[in-house]
Amino acid sequence: SCQIFPSVYDREDEDITGDELTIHGVKVVNKTSRSSNTPQATIPLVMLHGYANGCVYFYRNLISLSQTYFPTIYALDMLGFGLSSRPRFETTPDDTSVESAEAFFVESLEAWRIKNKIDKMIIAGHSIG
C-alpha cells in the first residue's frame, strides 16, 4: 500500500520520514511529507481508490487538498491493487456472499488504521473504495 502526503518535495520547510509495517504478512511502506504551510486539521483524510485502480488515481487532488483542508492525507493501495501485495483470499467455493469480500477489505483497512495509531479518520472512496 502507499501513503502519499502531497507537497512539493524540493521545499526546505518539510520533514520527510519513512516507516515500515507488516499487516497480515504484507509489507506496508509509509512515507510522510509535511509542509509548514498546511492547515492544522487534526483528523486525517484516507482516500480509497476504485476497482482496477491504485492510490495514484487521486494524484491530481492531493496537493490542493493538503494545502487547503488536510495536512495529513493517506492515499492507500488496497490489497491486490497498485503496489500492494495480493494475499490469499481465504474462502470456500460455496461462500459467494458479498459480506466475505467486504470483510476482506474492511479488516485490512482496520488493521492498517490500528498499526498507524489513527483514532479518527475521514474516508473518501471511489467505486469499491
pLDDT given at position 120: 93
Q: What radius of gyration, in Å, describes the C-alpha atoms of the chain?
A: 16
Q: What are phi and psi of 104, to 5 degrees?
A: -55, -45
Distance CA 77, CA 35 (A): 23
pLDDT given at position 20: 64
pLDDT given at position 102: 77
Write out the E strands in the chain.
14-23, 26-35, 45-48, 73-76, 122-125
For the chain, which residues score pLDDT lower than 70? 1-41, 50-53, 79-87, 89, 128-129
Residue (of 86, 83, 79) closest to 105 by Cα position = 79
From the candidate CATH numbers 3.60.10.10, 3.40.50.300, 3.30.390.50, 3.40.50.1820, the one assigned to the domain spanning 14-125 = 3.40.50.1820
- What are the cell numbers at 48? 480509497
